[in-house]
């Protein structure tokens, strides 16, 4: 069964702690993405990666970091520098890193709450 998995579903952390969100895909997709969603808002791009060992900042990268050591995995670290980290985080992937046909498919999301 191919798809995108994110774990955990719910995550609680104390203020000032770094936390890493997991994203794994077995779709053999080249590109992977991280979005943040706040209540009543659309999704905003944090980081994306076209290929292993390469990634680019999105619109709201400050306070976040990523790595892409394997094609299947794209973990996101929310650092203590992120001023308002409580949000719903969504990971996505798409087959191609270039070209016009690039449908993105999303994981189930991780809801992070910083206490």
Applying CB under 8 A, the residues found at the interface with other proteins are 4, 6, 30-31, 33, 35, 40-45, 48-50, 56, 58-59, 88, 90, 92, 94, 96-109, 111
Q: Give me the least distance between CB of 38 and other proteins, in Å please.
A: 10
Contact 68, 77 (CB under 8 A): no
Phi-psi region of 72 (alpha: psi -120 to 50; beta: other; left: phi over 0): alpha
Residue (38 or 69) nearer to other proteins, CB = 38
Residue (30 or 77) nearer to other proteins, CB = 30
Residue (17 or 41) nearer to other proteins, CB = 41
Contact 8, 111 (CB under 8 A): no
Q: Give me the least distance between CB of 64 and other proteins, in Å please.
A: 13
Contact 106, 6 (CB under 8 A): no
How big is the chain, counted in residues? 115
Q: Give me the least distance between CB of 65 and other proteins, in Å please.
A: 17
Residue (7 or 18) nearer to other proteins, CB = 7
Instruction: Give first-to-last CA distance, the chain, whole Å.
Output: 36
């Amino acid at each position: 069964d191919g798809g995108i998995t994110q774990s955990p579903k719910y995550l609680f952390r104390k203020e000032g702690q770094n936390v890493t969100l997991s994203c794994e895909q077995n779709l053999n997709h080249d590109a992977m993405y991280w979005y943040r969603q706040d209540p009543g808002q659309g999704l905003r791009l944090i980081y994306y990666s076209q290929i292993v060992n390469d990634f680019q900042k999105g619109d709201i990268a400050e306070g976040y970091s990523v790595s892409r050591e394997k094609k299947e995995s794209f973990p996101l670290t929310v650092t203590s520098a992120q001023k308002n980290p409580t949000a719903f985080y969504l990971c996505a992937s798409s087959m191609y890193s270039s070209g016009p046909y690039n449908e993105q498919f999303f994981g189930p999301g991780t809801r992070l709450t910083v206490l």
